[in-house]
């Protein structure tokens, strides 16, 4: 089974998962992103970004999910 890596850029989280294919990796990324964002519990501030990148076992990027916090001018 292929291995996929989830690199989270807001803190220093990285996890790896063995999943059957890149579609399962996308699903796991969206579920995990939701759980992590919920766990931020208000710590994301205006002008900060949060992202997670899904990479394959060779560290080739497959998907990126981004949240950008902005304060209107």
Q: Do 69 and 48 form a contact (C-beta atoms < 8 A)?
A: yes
Residue ranges in the chain assigned as alpha helix (H)? 22-40
Structure pTM?
A: 0.75
Mean pLDDT of 49-69: 89
Mean pLDDT of 7-14: 72
Query: d(Cα 5, Cα 14) in Å, to the nearest integer?
Result: 7
HSE (side-chain half, CA atoms, 13 Å) at 3: 6
Query: Buried (b) or exposed (e) across 26-50, using 16+ Cβ within 10 A?
Result: bebbeebbeebeeeeeeeeeeeeeb
pLDDT of residue 12: 59
């Amino acid at each position: 089974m292929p291995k996929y890596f989830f690199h989270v850029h807001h803190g220093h989280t990285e996890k790896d998962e063995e999943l059957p294919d890149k579609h399962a990796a996308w699903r796991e990324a969206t579920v995990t992103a939701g759980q992590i964002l919920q766990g931020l519990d208000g710590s994301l501030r205006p002008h900060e970004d949060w992202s997670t990148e899904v990479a394959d076992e060779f560290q080739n990027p497959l998907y990126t999910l981004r949240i950008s916090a902005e304060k209107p001018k």
